[in-house]
């Protein structure tokens, strides 16, 4: 597969790059960002995936996430995919919470979305192969995190692939798409009206169904305007408590849903993953 370099910049002794390729999963060109920290020649480094939220591309966290200094210190590769397929022929609809920029990290089964909206397979299959082939990545040491819709994606992907992802965390995740307007709209559109089919993309439901990870770190701002109606971390906590999954849920006073919140606790998350990835 041909990988095109869009840009590279030196940062904290490493390289922040943006790359593009033609995706077989989505049938479109896809763009992603990778930060590779300084490292010894021949070294293989752990990988931390960051999945972004609604309306975002790779650029939001790359420009606002403030992860490079701590990734350079800890020796962690940071991978930032896009949130959906894009292009003139990709279906879309008005509104920020469905269609382009809102792929929800699912493989759509409903027309017309099923042809392109295959973000689950893109994140778990196609893009890891590209990372392994083109970067000094130790694919036996992968962690995953994300924000909001991306937090939902990180949790569900880790719960469904515990042998691949050794650590998982989230910033203000959508904890149960089955029980919030964002999730109901997205999963109805992408997966169909049968709510039983949605459970494979709901972290709370996956835990209730027996999925397990060694532990989860979640940061959530208590001034987040989406907290009560969309995010509902109490549902995730209840499921983890019942399942015996150690959940560190930190309610952060005065913080909202923005990248001011994310960047404030990014260092904690990178350190948390680095400790578990070795």
Among 208, 207, 159, 201, which Cα is nearest to 180's?
201
- Asked if 220 and 254 count as a contact pair (C-beta separation under 8 A), the reply is no
CA-CA distance, 156 to 119, in Å (whole number)? 13
Residue ranges with strand state E in 12-98: 14-22, 29-36, 45-51, 77-80
Distance CA 49, CA 69 (A): 16
Decide if 271 contacts 72 (C-beta within 8 A): no
Q: Sign of the CA dihedral 25, 27, 31, 36?
A: positive
Dihedrals phi, psi of 199, to nearest 5 degrees: -60, -25
Active centre residues (catalytic): 148, 224, 257
Helix (H) or strand (E) holding 268: helix 259-277
> Which helix (H) or strand (E) is 11 found in, with range?
strand 4-11
Picking from 249, 240, 201, 267, the residue whose alpha carbon sits closest to that of residue 48 is: 267
Q: In 3-state terms, what secondary structure has residue 121?
A: helix
């Amino acid at each position: 597969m041909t990988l095109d370099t869009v840009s590279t910049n030196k940062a904290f002794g490493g390289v922040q790059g943006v790359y593009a390729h033609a995706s077989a999963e989505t049938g479109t060109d896809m763009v992603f960002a990778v930060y590779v920290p300084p490292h010894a020649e021949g070294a293989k480094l752990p990988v931390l995936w960051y999945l972004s939220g609604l309306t975002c591309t790779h650029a939001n966290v790359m420009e606002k996430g403030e992860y490079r200094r701590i990734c350079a210190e800890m020796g962690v590769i940071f991978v930032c995919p896009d949130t959906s397929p894009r292009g003139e022929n990709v279906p879309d609809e008005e509104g920020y919470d469905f269609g382009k920029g809102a792929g929800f990290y699912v493989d759509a089964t409903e027309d017309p979305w099923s042809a392109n909206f295959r973000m689950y397979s893109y994140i778990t299959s196609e893009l890891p192969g590209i990372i392994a082939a083109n970067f000094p990545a130790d694919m036996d040491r992968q962690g995953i995190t994300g924000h909001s819709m991306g937090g939902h994606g990180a949790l569900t992907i880790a719960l469904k692939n515990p042998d691949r992802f050794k650590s998982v965390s989230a910033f203000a995740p959508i904890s149960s798409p089955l029980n919030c307007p964002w999730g109901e709209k997205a999963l109805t559109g992408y997966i169909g009206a049968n709510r039983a089919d949605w459970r494979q993309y709901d972290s709370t439901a996956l835990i209730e169904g027996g999925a397990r990870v060694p532990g989860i770190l979640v940061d959530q701002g208590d001034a987040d305007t989406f907290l009560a109606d969309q995010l509902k971390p109490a549902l995730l906590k209840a499921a983890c408590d019942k399942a015996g999954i150690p959940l560190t849920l930190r309610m952060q006073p005065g913080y909202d849903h923005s990248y001011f919140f994310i960047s404030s606790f990014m260092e904690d998350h990178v350190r948390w993953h680095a400790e578990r990835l070795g």
